[in-house]
Amino acid sequence: MTANAALQPEQPNDEQNRAHLANAANMVQLIRESWAEVEPYSEEVSRFFYGMLFSLAPATRELFPVNMEVQRSRLLRALVHVVQMVDRPDELTPFLQQLGRDHRKFGVVSEHYEAVGTALLAAIKKHAGDSWTEAVERAWAEAYTIMATTMANAAAADEGPAWYNGEVVHHERLSWDMALVRVRPEYPVPYQAGQYVSVEVPQRPRLWRYLSPANPPSEDGTMEFHIRSVEGGWVSRAIVGHAQLGDQWRMGAPMGRMHVDRSSERDVVMIAGGTGLAPLRAIIEELTQYGGNPEVHLFYGGRTRDDLYELRNLQQAAMSNPWLKVIPVLEDDPSAQGAEHGTLADAVTRHGAWEEHDVLVSGSPEMIRTTVSRMLVAGTPLERIHYDPFTLD
C-alpha cells in the first residue's frame, strides 16, 4: 500500500480488504491442495468434465474444436490455472474482464458459465477422494463464481462486436519458419500498442490463437503480425506455410496491459525474445510519434543473427530517435560481432538491477519465466516488471 492510499478517507475498507485477501489466500490453499490430489488423473478429469458439460449444455459442443483430442484439456487447464490467481485481484480482475469480452468470439453466453462451473466441480469432486470436504467445495465454488461473474459482466457490458473480420492483404516469408502477415479489418480493431488479439484463420477453424500486432493502430486499421512456426504447431505452421492473400481472418477483442507510461519519470527496459518483439515494436513505433520520450533500452535476443529479423529496422529507428538504444543478444553465435552474448537474462542482468526502470518482458513462456526470475535475483523490484502473465502454452 502506498502512503497516499493510507491518507485517502474514501478508502476505509483496508481491514475488510485484508480480511478478504486472507480469505482468498485460504481459498487458494484449499484449491491447490485438492488439485494436487487430482492432477495425476487430469486426463480422466478432463474427459469427465467435457462429458458432463456437453450433457448439461449440449450447445456448447459446437464451441470447441471438432477434434477434441488435439487439445482436450485447454479450457480445463485454463480454469484451474486462473482459479489459483483468486488471491491476486489487482491483476486478475482486468484480465478476466478482457477474457470475458474475448470469450464472446467462441459464442459463449452467460448461461454457459453455470454449466461449466457445475462440470468443473463435479469433475474434481469425483477424482479428489477424501480430500473433497465442504470447505474445499466452497473454495472452488466461490473462486469460480468470482471469475465467472467478472467475465460474464464484462462481456454483457461490451457493445463492440464479438469479433472483427479482416482480410489478409500481405503474406511474406521472412525465413523458413517466420512470416509477416498484414490483415486489413472491415472495422478497425480498438487495440492499443502492446496488446494482443485472438485470431482464427480459415486453415484451422475454431483453433483460436493469440497474436500481437507489431504496429500501433494505423489509419486504415491494418494490423501487422509476425508469426513463427513452432514444431508440431497446428496454427502457426498453417499461417507461415499456407496463409494467402484474400484469406478472411477473425480477431477477438484486444487483451493485455503492456504499455509505456510516458507520464512517469522512469526510463524503460524492453526485453524481447523472437516474435515477442512484436508488441514492443508496436510500442516503440508509437513512441516515435512523440518528441520527448523516456530513454528505452531494447534487448532483442535470438539464437543466431538470422533470428533477429527486425534488427536492421530497429537500428535505423535508433539512429533517428536518440532515446532508443538497441542491444542485440545472441545465444548460440559466440563469434558474431556487434552483439552481446548469452541468454537475454544473462545480458540484461549483466548491466545491473535496473531498479529505477520500468521493465517490459515479451517472448516465449519459458523466456519470460527465466528472465523475470533472474531479474528478481539481481534486485529488480517485482512491481517494476511487466509482462502478460496468464499465458498457458
Ligand X SMILES: Cc1cc2nc3c(=O)[nH]c(=O)nc-3n(C[C@H](O)[C@H](O)[C@H](O)COP(=O)(O)OP(=O)(O)OC[C@H]3O[C@@H](n4cnc5c(N)ncnc54)[C@H](O)[C@@H]3O)c2cc1C
x/- mask, ligand HEM, residues 197-226, rule CB under 6 A, reads -----------x------------------
Cell triple for 357:
526502470
**C-alpha of 134 from chain center:** 34
* Nearest residue to 36 (alpha-carbon basis) of 114, 143, 113, 132: 132
Span near ligand HEM by CB under 6 A; candidates 62-70, 160-168, 216-224, 319-327: 62-70
Sign of the torsion angle spanned by Cα atoms 72, 78, 81, 83 = negative
Q: Is residue 156 close enough to count as binding ligand HEM by CB under 6 A?
A: no
How many residues interact with ligand X (rule CB under 6 A)? 22
Q: Which of 211, 314, 347, 348 binds ligand X (CB under 6 A)?
A: 211
Of the candidate spans 15-23, 29-37, 204-212, 333-341, the one that interacts with ligand X by CB under 6 A turns out to be 204-212
Q: Is 393 in the site for ligand X (CB under 6 A)?
A: yes
Handedness of CA 386, 294, 97, 182 (dihedral sign): negative
Are 250 and 165 contacting, i.e. CB atoms less than 8 angstroms apart?
yes
Pick the binder of ligand X from 155, 223, 278, 283 (CB under 6 A).
278
The stretch near ligand HEM (CB under 6 A) out of 3-11, 72-80, 134-142, 286-294 is: 72-80
CB of 218 to ligand X, least distance (A): 17
Torsion sign over Cα 388, 190, 212, 278: negative
Smallest separation, CB 3 to ligand X (Å): 34
- Determine if 229 is a binding residue for ligand HEM (CB under 6 A): no
Judge contact between 78 and 392, C-beta under 8 A: yes
Name the strand (E) or helix (H) holding 166.
Answer: strand 164-175
Span near ligand HEM by CB under 6 A; candidates 67-75, 167-175, 230-238, 260-268:
67-75
Decide: is 78 part of the binding site for ligand HEM (CB under 6 A). Answer: yes
CB nearer to ligand X: give 57 or 235.
235
Binding test (CB under 6 A) with ligand HEM, winner from 71, 165, 248, 288:
71
> Judged by CB, which is closer to ligand HEM: 74, or 237?
74
List the Cα angle 364/369/371 in 5-degree steps. Answer: 95
Q: Is 113 in the site for ligand HEM (CB under 6 A)?
A: yes
Give the residue, chosen from 65, 202, 210, 306, that forms a contact with ligand X under the rule CB under 6 A: 210
Closer residue to ligand HEM, CB minimum distance, 35 or 323: 35
79 counts as binding ligand HEM under rule CB under 6 A: yes
Q: Taking Cα atoms as reference points, which of 177, 175, 217 lies closest to residue 195?
A: 217
The reply to whether 364 sits near ligand X by the rule CB under 6 A is: yes
State how far the Cα of 26 lies from the Cα of 391, in Å rounded to an integer: 24
Is 234 a binding residue for ligand X by CB under 6 A? The answer is: yes
One-letter amino acid for residue 196 of the chain? Y
Comparing C-alpha atoms, which of 243, 164, 251 is closest to residue 211? 251
Smallest distance from ligand X to CB 158, Å: 20
Distance (Å, whole) CA 315 – CA 101:
37
Q: Which is nearer to ligand X, 141 or 230 (CB)?
A: 230
* Binding window for ligand X (CB under 6 A); candidates: 23-31, 167-175, 203-211, 280-288: 203-211
> What distances in angstroms separate CA 358 from CA 47, 171, 172, 270, 346, one per listed residue?
43, 34, 34, 8, 18
Whether 49 and 120 have beta carbons less than 8 Å apart is answered as yes
Backbone angles phi, psi at 59, to 5 degrees: -65, -20
